[in-house]
Amino acid sequence: MKKVIISVLVILVVVVGVLLMVYRAQSGYTTVLTAKVARQDLATIISGTGQIKPKTYVNVGATSFGRITHLEVKEGDHVKKGQVLARVENVQPSANVDAQQAMISSSKTDVASYVAAEATAKANVEHAKADLEQKQLDWDRAKSLYQQELIAKQDFDAKKAAYDLAVATLSQSNAAVVQSRAQTDSAKAKVTNNQATLRSNLDALDKTVSVAPFDGIVTNLPVREGETVVVGIQNAEGSTLMTLADMSVITAEVKVDETDIVNVQLGQPADVTVDALPGRTFKGHVTLVGDQAILRSTGIATSQSTTGTEEAKDFKVVITLDTPSDELRPGLSTTAKITTAHKPSVLTLPIQALTNHVPETLDANGKPVVSNVSLPSGAKPPAPVQGVFVVKEQKGKKPRAVFVPVTTGITGATDIEVLSGLVEGEEIVTGPFKTLRALKGGALLKRDDAKPTAATPAS
């Protein structure tokens, strides 16, 4: 029994000794995660949520007062331009059209009568002209004979009276022509007026039939057959028969956070997904970027809000789909991922490797140099700069961390572009986060893995 106890004690002493040696060997080292700077395609993508909307849609309103007698479509139907959608009772408008057509026929008959009377009057003028010529000749002959005292004064006076009567008859015939022409013009004007009234009546009759203004789909049908509809008047809306949407051009209207909207521009590509169609992605491009901020809590534009509280805001962005689908319906919830920047084969590093740090001065062995020179009174300490810790290898020794300032470009989902400060293949410290925040230049490092991992390509 004593031997067993002694053996156990010996084993414990050995284990403790080994652990102590390992601890001493690893003391002063910082265990870190690393990755290598690599080249890859990088894209900056921002997201927004919203709904599917047609670019063009109209509320087909009632254009005639009355009871709906026929609804020719139902909600969800596809319709063609000019197709009949609904009919309203048309007894009165139809009767007005028939009465006006009868009045036009009567007016045209009057015109024909006056045209005939005008022709008769013109014939009478020609007859009066011929008679006047004859009377003129008779009077001229009578004057000559009277001067020669070959006819009596009574005969001369008779010829003179006959001539004067012929002149009066011609004047009367000319007046009759003018009167007949005026009556004809009046009758023609009545026909024109009646035809205008007929067009108005036909328009009123046509308005009892609602037709589709374009090819589209019926998205809302709030009325039923037998209901009475009214026409809108000033400051009062009329009855809406249905909503018709033109689905040939479909858009996704989404809201983008105010911190991202400055990067959104017209024409940028976007991938649109619809909750109701999982696994499907629709390509599109930005066609409208809103200028008005929208309060996230109420959906009201800031210019219309009366509250003075500060809160999160969004901006409206409209994305037009390149290839619309018949499966899409207005109002479907959608998510859009907009590519605001894209660069092929650029130098990148993981975003988590970036840190703000005050660079230390290192000696030839990579150890920080301790300076006894204090800052002058009132002087500000050096400002931290953006950079990464590079893993610097040492012959026969553990690698050290060296802080290197870097400048960056566009940001991807997990990586960021390196503009200067690093070269391809350099190994950098990527974490853990708490270790990275406390890490100092010149610190000895121990990799968490046997091999450093390469930067994961951005999706």
Picking from 219, 264, 253, 255, the residue whose alpha carbon sits closest to that of residue 85 is 219
- At residue 351, the pLDDT reads 93
Query: Would you tell me which CATH number, out of the four given (2.60.40.650, 3.40.190.10, 2.40.30.170, 2.40.50.140), belongs to the domain 248-342?
Result: 2.40.30.170
CA–CA distance, 159 with 151 (Å, rounded to integer): 11
Q: Determine the average pLDDT of the residues in 83-102.
A: 94
CA–CA distance, 442 with 429 (Å, rounded to integer): 13
Q: What pLDDT digit, counting tens, does each position of 261-283 carry?
A: 999 999 999 999 999 999 999 99
272 DSSP β-pair partners: 282, 336
Residue 241, judged by CB atoms within 10 A of its CB (0-12, 13-18, 19+), counts as buried
Parallel/antiparallel/unpaired status of strands 415-420 and 407-411 = antiparallel
According to CATH, the topology of domain 29-42+345-370+382-454 is: 2.40.420
Q: What are 223's two structure tokens? A: 């009325």
Q: Which residue has the tokens 């996230």?
A: 296
- Dump the DSSP string for 260-320: TGGG--TT-EEEEEETTSTT-EEEEEEEEEEEEEEETTT--BGGG--------EEEEEEEE
With beta carbons less than 8 A apart as the criterion, state whether 67 and 88 touch. yes
Q: What are 29's two structure tokens? A: 């080292």
Largest interatomic CA distance in the chain: 197
Residues 6+ apart with CB under 8 A from 204: 64, 93, 96
- At residue 366, the pLDDT reads 55
Local confidence band at 10 (pLDDT 50, 70, 90 cut-offs): low
Local confidence band at 21 (pLDDT 50, 70, 90 cut-offs): very low
User: Percent of the chain beyond pLDDT 70?
Assistant: 86
CA–CA distance, 424 with 455 (Å, rounded to integer): 11
More confident of the two residues 55 and 371: 55
Q: For residue 145, is pLDDT > 60?
A: yes
Q: Which residue has the tokens 């800031």?
A: 302
Q: For residue 130, is pLDDT > 70?
A: yes
CA–CA distance, 83 with 352 (Å, rounded to integer): 61
CA–CA distance, 22 with 390 (Å, rounded to integer): 26
Grouping H, G, I as helix, E, B as strand and the rest as coil, residue 68 is strand
Q: Is the dihedral of CA 113, 119, 120, 125 positive or negative?
A: positive
Q: Which helix (H) or strand (E) segment is 170 a member of?
A: helix 153-206
Q: Determine the average pLDDT of the residues in 47-76.
A: 91
Q: For residue 259, is pLDDT > 60?
A: yes
* Domain positions in the chain: 29-42+345-370+382-454, 92-206, 248-342
Q: Which residue has the tokens 């063609």?
A: 80
Q: How far is CA 88 from the centre of its chain?
A: 33
Neighbouring C-beta atoms of residue 21, cutoff 10 Å: 10
Q: Determine the average pLDDT of the residues in 242-263.
A: 91
- At residue 210, the pLDDT reads 94
Question: Which amino acid type is present at position 412?
Answer: G
Q: What pLDDT digit, counting tens, does each position of 26-35 carry?
A: 446 888 999 9
- At residue 372, the pLDDT reads 42
Question: Which amino acid type is present at position 302?
Answer: T
Parallel/antiparallel/unpaired status of strands 240-257 and 228-229 = unpaired
Local confidence band at 68 (pLDDT 50, 70, 90 cut-offs): very high
243 DSSP β-pair partners: 59, 220
Residue 201, judged by CB atoms within 10 A of its CB (0-12, 13-18, 19+), counts as buried
Q: What pLDDT digit, counting tens, does each position of 334-384 carry?
A: 999 999 999 999 999 999 999 998 876 655 555 555 544 455 556 566 788
Residue 313 φ/ψ region, left for φ over 0, alpha for ψ in the -120 to 50 degree band, beta for the rest: beta
Q: What is the dihedral of CA 182, 188, 193, 197, to 10 degrees?
A: 160
Q: Determine the average pLDDT of the residues in 377-399.
A: 80
Q: For residue 459, is pLDDT > 50?
A: no
Local confidence band at 146 (pLDDT 50, 70, 90 cut-offs): confident
